Amino acid sequence: MIAFLPRTAHSRDVSNNMKNQLLILLFFISLFSCSQEKNCSDFKTGTFKYVDSNHPNWIIVRNDSIQVEKEKKTNIELQGRLKWKSDCEYSLTYTKISDSSNSELIGEKINVTIINITDDIIEYEAEMNDKVVISKMQKIK
């Protein structure tokens, strides 16, 4: 048989103290986890690489208004102008391409929307000439 003892003032104080400590701990855990959450604006600048297997050797360097993509093995380089519509949406217009076989891309506009962020990887949707591609890019610097 289990005997329940009556609550004393001391047991209520201990119980309330433990509840307060638990609430404070939960508050700090949620504050820390929110401060670590990535935002689209974290990906406006930096050095990136494509995550998909179709573009394993491409490195992308981006500042707020210019993006340079370079293929490490062939040294093909594409330069483009970025125009941010919001923190998660931008357009990229190619302005210079070192490979003359792809010169038709100059002046082409790609509309990009970041649709998901996991750690340092963004998943994005890119639309150009009624074609839509969903891919991933990882921030490496």
State yes or no: pLDDT of 64 exceeds 70: yes
What is the H or E stretch that residue 24 is in? helix 9-35
Is there a contact between 82 and 67 (Cβ–Cβ < 8 Å)? yes
What is the rounded distance in angstroms from the CA atom of residue 135 to the CA atom of residue 101?
A: 24
Q: What residues contact 96, with CB distance under 8 A and at least 6 apart? A: 77, 78, 79, 106
Amino acid identity for residue 12 in this structure: R
Q: What pLDDT score was predicted for residue 53? A: 78
CA 41 from centre of chain: 8
Q: Name 122's bridge partners.
A: 117, 137
26-63 pLDDT, tens digit per residue, is: 555 554 444 446 799 999 999 999 998 788 899 999 99
Residue 107 DSSP one-character state: T
Compute the distance between CA of residue 68 and CA of residue 46 in angstroms, rounded to an integer.
Answer: 11
Reported pTM: 0.70
